[in-house]
């Protein structure tokens, strides 16, 4: 019997409408729970564990994570169809790492396309290429994070090296999908000009890159760490100055690739 993709279940922790910085146009972002990385700057720490969690704020608990069907998700995503149509927007899968729930992600993308929506994924790219390959035909835009070119530093900060990420970047770049590279710029991790330059050099070897987005580190997620009973490890880090981030952007632009600050 053929599976009805609308009945496929997965775990999400939010659907955010009117997102205008994560892919083209006006979009709804579906946040899938669970990630293989543990980036200490992550502004959605509640996205990292696959398990359903409770965040405690103002002495009130809030359950994070819900198992839902594709049908349920799409019924909400569909509500903003008028705005997608007018803005060339659509649905973006984010996380966590949406590819950690490959069947669910596939079903969501496929059914979204089935009803005429454009799709995008925000991904770390750190999964086996087979998974990526299966999803690609159902995706219009990939927003892929490249955090650092040095595999040792990558592993030191994030817990895993960047081998898979770079490998997948090369392969996705060869596919028909539109690829945008995003770099979260974090002081002490990758904010030196040479670190950004290395990433840009790599990106230049990829065919048909749309753009590089530099996403400056911010602290808006800090309180959520406490709410989850975790320590925030970057308390000592100050966000980048506008001047500094502008200098880094110039590195991108000077290389001949389109760049922008923020998504």
State which of residues 87, 150, 175, 255 lies at the interface with another protein (CB under 8 A): 87
Q: Is 216 in the site for another protein (CB under 8 A)?
A: no
- Binding segment for another protein (CB under 8 A), chosen from 20-28, 51-59, 64-72, 211-219, is 20-28
Whose Cβ is closer to another protein: residue 26's or residue 248's? Answer: 26
Q: Is 25 in the site for another protein (CB under 8 A)?
A: yes
Peptide bond into 177 cis (omega under 30): no
Q: Is 218 in the site for another protein (CB under 8 A)?
A: no
Per-position DSSP letters for 107-152, written without gaps between them: HHHHHHHHTT-EEEEEE---S-HHHHHHHGGG-SEEEEE---S-HH
State which of residues 9, 14, 68, 83 lies at the interface with another protein (CB under 8 A): 83
Following CA atoms 53, 56, 61, 62 in sequence, which dihedral angle do they give, to the nearest 10 degrees? -50
Name residues whose C-beta falls within 8 Å of residue 36's C-beta, 6 or more positions apart in sequence.
97, 100, 124, 126, 127, 160
Q: Is 89 in the site for another protein (CB under 8 A)?
A: yes
Q: Is 226 in the site for another protein (CB under 8 A)?
A: no
Q: Is 18 in the site for another protein (CB under 8 A)?
A: yes
Nearest approach, Cβ of 56 to another protein (angstroms)? 17
Calculate ∠ Cα 108-113-115, nearest 5°: 100
State which of residues 5, 8, 13, 19 lies at the interface with another protein (CB under 8 A): 19
Site for another protein in 130-149 (CB under 8 A): none
Half-sphere exposure in the Cβ direction for 47 (13 Å, CA): 25
State which of residues 6, 14, 50, 85 lies at the interface with another protein (CB under 8 A): 85
- Asked whether the beta carbons of 26 and 3 are under 8 A apart, the reply is no
Residues forming contacts to another protein in the complex (CB under 8 A) are: 16-21, 25-26, 79-80, 82-83, 85-87, 89
């Amino acid at each position: 019997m053929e599976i009805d993709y609308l009945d496929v279940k997965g775990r999400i922790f939010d659907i955010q409408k009117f997102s205008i910085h994560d892919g083209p146009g006006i979009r709804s972002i579906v946040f899938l729970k669970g990630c293989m990385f543990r980036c200490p700057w992550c502004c959605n720490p509640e996205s990292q564990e696959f398990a359903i969690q409770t965040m405690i704020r103002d002495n009130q608990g809030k359950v994070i994570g819900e198992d839902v069907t594709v049908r349920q998700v799409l019924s909400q995503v569909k509500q903003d169809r008028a705005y997608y149509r007018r803005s060339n927007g659509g649905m973006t899968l984010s996380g966590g790492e949406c590819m950690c729930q490959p069947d669910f992600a596939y079903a969501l993308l496929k059914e979204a396309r089935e009803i005429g929506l454009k799709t995008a994924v925000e991904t770390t790219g750190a999964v086996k290429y087979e998974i990526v390959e299966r999803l690609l035909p159902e995706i219009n835009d990939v927003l892929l994070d490249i955090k650092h070119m040095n595999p040792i530093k990558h592993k030191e900060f994030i817990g895993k090296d960047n081998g898979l990420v770079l490998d997948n970047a090369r392969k996705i770049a060869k596919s028909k999908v539109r690829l945008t590279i995003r770099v979260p710029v974090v002081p002490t991790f990758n904010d030196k000009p040479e670190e950004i330059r290395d990433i840009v050099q790599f990106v230049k070897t990829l065919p048909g890159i749309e753009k590089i987005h530099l996403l400056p580190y911010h602290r808006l997620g800090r309180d959520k760490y406490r709410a989850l009973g975790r320590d925030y490890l970057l308390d000592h880090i100050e966000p980048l100055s506008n001047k500094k981030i502008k200098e880094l952007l110039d590195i991108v632009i000077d290389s001949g690739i389109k760049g922008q600050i923020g998504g």
